Amino acid sequence: AMPSKPKSTESSMQHNKNHKKVRELLRLYEGGAVFTAFDTETTGLSAHNDRLLEIGAVQFSKDGILATYSQLINPCRTIPYEATRINNITHDMVQDCPTEQVILPDFYTFIGKSILVAHNANFDLKFINTALSRDGHRILENQVEDTVKISRAIFPELEKHNLQFLAQHFSINPGNAHRATD
C-alpha cells in the first residue's frame, strides 16, 4: 500500500484545485458564458420520497440578467408541516399549480446548455434529476458548479458558508431566503 499524503499536502492540493476551478469559471464568465443560478424548495429531504414544491432560476451572463424562471409546483401530496414552516409554501398556494411532469420539460428548455449554479448543488440536482427520471426524461447533463465549494475556496476564513451568512457578510439583501427565486 502506498503511504498516504500528509494532511497539509492534501489540503494544499485541494486548495490549488479549487482556485484553479474559480479561475476557470471567471474565464468562462468573462468570455460571455451563460449561467443559470437555480434553487428548489421541496416537501422534505429525500429525492425519492419527497417532491418538488418550487423551482426558481436566474439566467445571467457578464451582460447581466437574461431571464428568470419561477414556478410553484403541485406535489400531489400533503406538504409536511416541517416543510411549510421552513419555506412558507402551503397547500393552498400549490393546489392549482402544474405538477412536476408539466414543469420539468419547461425548466429543461429554460436552462438550455447554460452552466448551472446552485448552493449545495447536489441536493437540488438530485431532486430535479430524480423527478426527470421518474417522468421518463433524460437527466440534466449541464456543467454544474456548487457555490458552497466556491465560497469555501475563496473565503476559507469564514466560519459559515450558508447563503444567509454569506448575504449578511457581504451586505446583500437575501430576500426571503427560503423561497427559490429569492
So which residues are the catalytic ones? 178
Burial of 24 (0-12, 13-18, 19+ CB in 10 A): exposed
One-character DSSP codes across 151-168: HHHH-TT-S--SHHHHHH
Rounded CA-CA distance 21/10 in Å is: 16
Radius of gyration of the chain (CA): 18
Rounded CA-CA distance 16/20 in Å is: 6
Asked if residues 115 and 147 have their Cβ atoms less than 8 Å apart, the reply is: no
Rounded CA-CA distance 8/129 in Å is: 36
